[in-house]
Amino acid sequence: MKTFYIETYGCQMNFYDSQVIDDVLQGMGLRKVASAEMSDLILINTCSVRDNAEQRVRGRINQLWGERVARRQEGMIGLLGCMAQRLGESLLQEKHSRLDFVVGTDQYQRLPEIIDLALQKKPSLYFTDFDHVVTYEARPKQMPPGGSHYLAVMHGCDKFCSYCIVPFTRGRERSKPMEIILREARSISEAGGFEITLLGQTISSYQHGGDDFVSLLRNVSCIDGIKRIRFMTSYPTDLNEQVFDAIADLPKVENRIHLPVQSGSDRVLRKMNRHYDLAQYEAILLAGRERIDGLQFSTDLIVGFPGEQEDDFQATLQLMERQKFVSSFLFKYSPREGTLACRSEDDVPESVKSERLARLMELQEATTVRLLQAQVGEELEILLDEESKKAKNQLRGRTRNNMRVIVDPKKGTAIGDFAVARITGFKGGTLTGELL
Ligand code: 5AD
Ligand code: SF4
């Protein structure tokens, strides 16, 4: 066992965790490789939030296993992440299980010992105990290249929205000690990183010792070399005037907030166990907009929650029309075993879910186009953060409220620099501009 390969699905938290896993495995002398073909050990870090995420991984496991058999190659496959946590031992007992071991979200530090046991061909290797205190730390040598990095500041979730599996796959909410966060942020900066995305399932409820979300933003802002700070995901009722004032006050902190609303209907919100109604949610958006210049909100929405009627859905459409989210992540409700909502019948037909989803997408696209259109001719400050993925020799920058702008480089400007761009147009969801 010399090499490993890791494939990551799902949210940013999983990508962060995969960095931690890289570190643990490299610490035991394994070398990371870029393809399954070259690796002795294949790891898959998984997501359980919707059923299609799990089905995709199941297909992928079979494919990887089949390819390995065809190559007559020895090796192991280990499953990690939310699906491992949720299904545990049952994954190993399935008839055609291709897995050698299963490791849940709180057990990554034990991977060396687990891999050792797997090498000894011990049966039933599943490790899914929760450890209600563990938090992880990613070290700079494992950081992927580039200026932007994730930094998890919390793990778990205590909100128990009725549709959501996360409280069951990630356990109780816990915040990482401030000194560890700052150590990590400093090492990101020392390794050449200039943008940090702070991660937590409900990040605005960060609390450790005397520290809260506001002191977190203030402290990370003090780190030299870090030029921009993003954070996600916020829970609506955790945002208050102090948080908005801090964002307004701290120029490094992005003025875009991802604030999932999930539905525009009070009846549905109640059944989702979201602890606010529509009026409260919109009052929070208003308070933010009053305090922070140029603030943009993005959101998440679920269509087809059990019992969702046409008028509930209309309320969601009207909310989107009123609030003009800069972007939204739109999902069809997917029942998750063990959640409260799963006890109700999944009674909105698939065809209705698809149709509602399409209507939301259409409205979002129209809104996004209008917001982009309004930027044409403006001069915007951007932080150049990477080479354009699509256009050769061009750079991508992002405004403080996270609008992407593609520009031609100019002499003397480099990735990691601030620059001012005059916006000339847009393509897809991205602005185009010229540097001044
Ligand atoms: N079905 C559909 N979407 C879901 N989400 C969470 N659970 C479910 C589910 N069971 C969505 C929510 C959440 C986002 C990360 O995924 O909108 O904010
Ligand atoms: Fe899931 Fe709700 Fe927690 Fe978000 S806040 S992770 S939707 S339970």
CA–centroid distance, 189 to ligand 2, in Å, is 30
What contacts 281, CB < 8 A, 6 or more positions away? 236, 259, 261
Give pLDDT, residue 145.
72
Residue minimizing CA distance to atom 2 of ligand 2:
161
> Which ligand 2 atom sits nearest the alpha carbon of residue 157?
3
> Which ligand 1 atom sits nearest the alpha carbon of residue 335?
10
Ligand nearest to the CA of 168: 2
Residue minimizing CA distance to atom 1 of ligand 2:
164
| DSSP state for residue 343 in the 8-state scheme | G
Structural contact between residues 106 and 171, judged by C-beta atoms closer than 8 angstroms = yes
The 10 Å CB-count burial string (b at 16+, else e) for 221-240 is bebeebbbbbbbbbbbbbbe
211/202 Cα distance (integer angstroms): 15
> Which ligand 1 atom sits nearest the alpha carbon of residue 233?
18
Residue minimizing CA distance to atom 5 of ligand 2:
159
CA–centroid distance, 157 to ligand 2, in Å, is 6
Print pLDDT tens along the chain (436 aa): 899 999 999 999 999 999 999 999 999 999 999 999 999 999 999 999 999 999 999 999 999 999 999 999 899 999 999 999 999 988 888 888 899 999 999 999 999 999 999 999 887 788 888 887 777 787 766 666 789 999 999 999 999 999 999 999 999 999 999 999 999 999 999 999 999 999 999 999 999 999 999 999 999 999 999 999 999 999 999 999 999 999 999 999 999 999 999 999 999 999 999 999 999 999 999 999 999 999 999 999 999 999 999 999 999 999 999 999 999 999 999 999 999 999 999 999 999 999 999 999 999 999 999 999 999 999 999 999 999 888 778 999 999 999 999 999 998 899 999 999 999 999 989 999 999 9
pTM equals: 0.94
Give pLDDT, residue 140.
61
CA–centroid distance, 97 to ligand 1, in Å, is 27
Give pLDDT, residue 82.
96
Return the CA Rg of the chain: 22
Mutate to test the pocket of ligand 2, among 199, 202, 262 (most ligand atoms within 8 A of CB): 202
CB of 166 within 6 A of ligand 2: the answer is yes
CA angle in degrees (0–180, nearest 5) for 375-380-383 = 125
Residue 152 CA to chain centroid, in angstroms? 10
Give pLDDT, residue 395.
95
Nearest of 405, 389, 408 to residue 397 by alpha carbon: 405
CA–centroid distance, 300 to ligand 2, in Å, is 11
Give pLDDT, residue 62.
93
CA–centroid distance, 363 to ligand 1, in Å, is 20
- AA identity, residue 25: L
Q: What are phi and psi of 14, to 5 degrees?
A: -65, -35
Nearest of 165, 155, 226, 151 to residue 195 by alpha carbon: 226
CB of 204 within 6 A of ligand 2: the answer is no
Ligand nearest to the CA of 308: 1
Give pLDDT, residue 310.
98
| DSSP state for residue 253 in the 8-state scheme | B
Q: Could you tell me the two tokens for 31?
A: 């070398």
CA–centroid distance, 322 to ligand 2, in Å, is 24
Ligand nearest to the CA of 274: 2
Give pLDDT, residue 12.
95
254/191 Cα distance (integer angstroms): 21
Give pLDDT, residue 90.
87
Give pLDDT, residue 330.
98
CB-count burial class (<10 Å; 0-12, 13-18, 19+) for 120: exposed
> Which ligand 2 atom sits nearest the alpha carbon of residue 201?
6
- What are 32's strand-pairing partners? 4
Ligand nearest to the CA of 167: 2
CA–centroid distance, 165 to ligand 1, in Å, is 9
Q: What is the dihedral of CA 423, 232, 165, 349, to 10 degrees?
A: -30
406/390 Cα distance (integer angstroms): 10
Ligand nearest to the CA of 346: 1
Helices then strands, counting H and E runs in the chain, come out as 13, 21
- How many residues are given for the chain? 436
Ligand nearest to the CA of 201: 2
286/361 Cα distance (integer angstroms): 24
- What are 42's strand-pairing partners? 5, 77
CA–centroid distance, 160 to ligand 2, in Å, is 6
Give pLDDT, residue 124.
77
- AA identity, residue 323: Q
75/310 Cα distance (integer angstroms): 52
400/421 Cα distance (integer angstroms): 13
Nearest of 259, 318, 350, 261 to residue 51 by alpha carbon: 350
Q: Which residues line ligand 1 (CB under 6 A)?
A: 49-50, 163-164, 260, 262, 300, 302, 331, 333-334, 336
Residue minimizing CA distance to atom 4 of ligand 2:
201
CB of 160 within 6 A of ligand 2: the answer is yes
Report helix, strand or coil for 255.
coil
Mutate to test the pocket of ligand 1, among 51, 331, 344 (most ligand atoms within 8 A of CB): 331
What contacts 417, CB < 8 A, 6 or more positions away? 383, 384
- AA identity, residue 232: M
> Which ligand 1 atom sits nearest the alpha carbon of residue 262?
17
CB of 159 within 6 A of ligand 2: the answer is yes
